[in-house]
Amino acid sequence: MKMSGLFCRQDYVIIKIMKKRVIVAMSGGVDSSVAAALLQKQGYEVIGITMCFNLADASGKKPSCCGITGIEDARSVAHKLGIKHYVLNLQKVFNKEVILDFCRQYLSGKTPNPCVRCNQFIKFDALLKKSLALGAAFMATGHYAKIEKTSAGYLLKKARDPKKDQSYFLYCLGQKQLKHILFPLGDYAKADIRILAKELALPVADKLDSQEICFLPDNNYRDFLSKFAQASIKPGEILGQAGNILGSHRGAAFYTIGQRRGLGISSRKPLYVTEIKDKSNQIIVGPQKEAFKKSFLVKDLHYVNRPFKKKIEIKARIRYNQKESSAGIFPVKNKIKVIFKEPQFAITPGQSAVFYSQDAVLGGGIIEKIL
């Protein structure tokens, strides 16, 4: 009997040791909260970490996520689930890799995507490294995407819910990262997550989704730039397609390709920004048809599995809220030339171009210039 009892006790200890630890990036929102709950129900040892960036907008207003409100909401969820919760200050790396790049890109006539940068350098680099250092086998987030393991490696795939799919923002993930990442929400629709949150009585079940960039609580990047880069923003000329002066602008950083409103010039027909010349500080405008282009160059390439070595036909997406369109891609040294079969509206330097094969992400990069 004693031997039997000892065996059972040792067996229990072995099971406890084998229980895999996962760090969940908890923003205080409903998605990451349900992600933590799902993993706990699956038997993982779940630890929540909320990233803190000490952010404030130009007026001093704190954001609801990555700030005090987000931290307190995440802590209350962790308490409800009975899991450990910690706050990790990543202000230094966030300022360097996201904030400074955000300002630098706008000042050079580009339109950056800070969420892609945050995923690349903060969540799936700095936080992932911290998670592994804490003895975790995995790090998880509330992203709507899926990871599939195959004999050829890991695939990054679209989420089940096309309206919430966030695979576009994750193209920088490679094999070394994917093997340590979990996306528990990939097979759920957003409506399912709300229902689960209420069934689990999570304190954030009715919390609204954030629709803004975390360091722009009012979603006004112009106010942000006015505070942090005002000395570099200067008025300039607005030119027509023929080079004629139509008016003046407040600063090229305040405009983006495809913009129609807020140009401050009168015209019998609608005019759109078709080009931003940062060196001469000029903005070119024209009719909508001039904002449709087919060819562009992509730099800073990342591949989920393996690089492209020859021309192939794929689907490409040039912004998050746009469907993929058929295109041919042509490797050119360390860049890629993309040619859409049909012209696309407002191909924008600074934004990400992401390449797909059916529902799998192949990779992507930053749009350098329109050809």
Q: What is the pLDDT of residues 26-49, one digit of tens each?
A: 999 999 999 999 999 999 999 999
What is the mean pLDDT of the segment spanning 45-59? 78
Q: For residue 5, is pLDDT > 80?
A: no
Segments in the chain forming alpha helices (H):
2-18, 30-41, 68-81, 91-94, 100-107, 114-117, 128-133, 175-178, 190-199, 221-228
Residue 212: per-residue pLDDT: 72
Report how far residue 118's alpha carbon sits from residue 301's, in angstroms, rounded to the nearest whole number: 16
Give the DSSP per-residue string, 8-59: HHHHHHHHHHHSPEEEEE--SSHHHHHHHHHHHHTT-EEEEEEEE-----TT
The stretch 215-233 carries a mean pLDDT of: 84
pLDDT value for 209: 85
Over residues 271-310, the pLDDT tens digits come to: 999 999 999 999 999 999 999 999 999 999 999 999 998 9
Is 172 a residue of the active site? no
Query: What is the percent of the chain with per-residue pLDDT over 70, rounded to a whole number?
Result: 91
> Domains plus CATH for the chain?
19-199 (3.40.50.620), 234-286 (2.30.30.280), 291-370 (2.40.30.10)
pLDDT in tens, 137-168: 999 999 999 999 999 899 999 999 999 999 99
Selecting among 66, 103, 115, 214, the annotated active-site residue is 214
Query: Is pLDDT larger for residue 6 or for residue 209?
Result: 209
Whether 208 has a pLDDT exceeding 90, the answer reads no
Q: Quote the distance between the C-alpha of residue 40 and its chain's center.
A: 25
pLDDT at 63: 54
pLDDT exceeds 80 at position 1: no
Residues 314-333 pLDDT 10s: 999 999 989 999 999 999 98
pLDDT of residue 333: 87
Q: Is the pLDDT of residue 65 over 60?
A: no
Q: Which of 179-188, 218-227, 341-350 has the lowest mean pLDDT?
A: 218-227
Residue whose structure tokens are 């790396």: 93
SS3 string, 172-223, reads CCCHHHHCCEECCCCCCCHHHHHHHHHHCCCCCCCCCCCCCCCCCCCCCHHH
Question: 17-28, pLDDT tens digit by residue?
Answer: 447 999 999 999
Of the residues 66, 103, 115, 118, only one is catalytic, namely 118
Residues near 224 by beta carbon (within 8 Å), at least 6 away in sequence: 57, 58, 215, 216
Whether 66 has a pLDDT exceeding 70, the answer reads no
Residue type, 205: A
Stretch 218-244: mean pLDDT, rounded?
89
pLDDT attached to residue 97: 96
Which band of pLDDT confidence, cut at 50, 70 and 90, is reported for residue 10? very low
pTM (two decimals): 0.89
- Is 66 known to be catalytic? no
pLDDT, position 60: 52
